[in-house]
Amino acid sequence: MDFVPRYKGQVDAALEEFFTNKIRGKSGIEKEAISKLREFTMRGGKRIRPLFMILGYWLNSDIDEKIIRASISLELMQSYLLIHDDIIDQSEVRRGGPTFHRMFSYEDRINEGVSIVCADLSDAYSHEALLATDFSSDRLNSAMKLMSEIVEMTGIGQLMDITLSLGDNITLDDVTAIHKYKTAQYTVNGPMKMGAILAGYKSPEKLDRYGLPLGIAFQIQDDILGMFGNEKELGKSVVSDFEEGKKTHLILYTYEMAKKNEVQFIKERLGKKGISNADFERVKEIIEGCGALEKTRELSRKYYESAIDSINDISNSPNQREQLKAMADLMVRRSS
């Protein structure tokens, strides 16, 4: 079963239809806002969250048009969160193109204000898309409640990410907690549980043992690629996370394992804009040379294996188990 290409294409088509209907008859700033939301949302997304929602639904129901249409709510939610995240981080590139607040031609302050409001529109659209589907009211209400909880937990993770990175008090456990709240819940676990709820799956809490560790493994791998990946494949700069001062497992393990002068070298440059290519290459050499890169990879593998170990408790279907394993591999064993 070619799960990803088959259903990604259907999600893309449903998203395009949603935006086409939204933009019809609009003019002025409203038309510009919706057009740019469509461009941003449709640009290069992997549709991971809709795919996990569809996968969760499949655990107790045949995949149908209803779940495809419901799943686009998560891509609209993703746009809302990414727009805010890029403004907070002052990022310039997303998915190989400009971040949303760089897509407008006003002055910077106005661009950011317009983008925040457009993100709020995308949040409203996410609820609209889910509520427009023909599921029973009890299942729809439960899924909507969970969706609100996902956004809440992502917000808490974002607050932790912003504040805990200040100074030198952040711990490895803090970084893992940020990954759990900011990434795992809204990338894997929440979407799968929403799909399972819409399908009437009896024990959606079982999915926590798969979704949470897999989401953490995904984010750890993302942090690795954020420094050691290929910019063309990633669609963003590999120095951006470092220049933003993100204290990842890579960085904290390096602080524990590298020589004192090497740690000082990194601390003097972390969070500073305009790092030279030579200095960034030296940072990477230190991270790899002290063993922090391999230790971070081992941590990602540990969480990945924990997710894999849960699969047999989630489904009795060989096909579903195979797809759960394939999605885990897609999330963690990737180069972009």
pLDDT band at 45 (very low <50, low <70, confident <90, very high): confident
Q: Determine the Cα–Cα distance for residues 273 and 162; give it in Å rounded to an integer.
A: 17
Domain that holds residue 136: 3-332
What mean pLDDT is predicted for residues 116-143? 97
The pTM of this model reads: 0.93
Exposed/middle/buried for residue 237 (C-beta within 10 Å: 0-12, 13-18, 19+): middle
Q: Which residue shows structure tokens 């809302």?
A: 80
Q: Determine the Cα–Cα distance for residues 162 and 183; give it in Å rounded to an integer.
A: 14
pLDDT tens per residue across span 53-72: 999 999 999 999 999 999 99
pLDDT of residue 230: 82
Q: Which among 54, 306, 74, 76 is positioned nearest to 196, based on CA atoms?
A: 54
pLDDT tens per residue across span 172-187: 999 999 999 989 999 9
What mean pLDDT is predicted for residues 106-122? 96
pLDDT tens per residue across span 250-297: 999 999 999 999 999 999 999 998 999 999 999 999 999 999 999 999
Q: Determine the Cα–Cα distance for residues 260 and 159; give it in Å rounded to an integer.
A: 30
pLDDT band at 241 (very low <50, low <70, confident <90, very high): confident
pLDDT tens per residue across span 211-233: 999 999 999 999 999 899 887 77
pLDDT of residue 95: 85
pLDDT of residue 160: 93
pLDDT of residue 336: 63
What mean pLDDT is predicted for residues 147-163? 94
Q: Report, in this order, helix, strand and coil percent for the chain, each rounded to 5.
A: 75, 0, 25
| Mean per-residue pLDDT over the chain, rounded | 94
Counting the structural domains of the chain, the total is 1
Residue 301's CATH number: 1.10.600.10
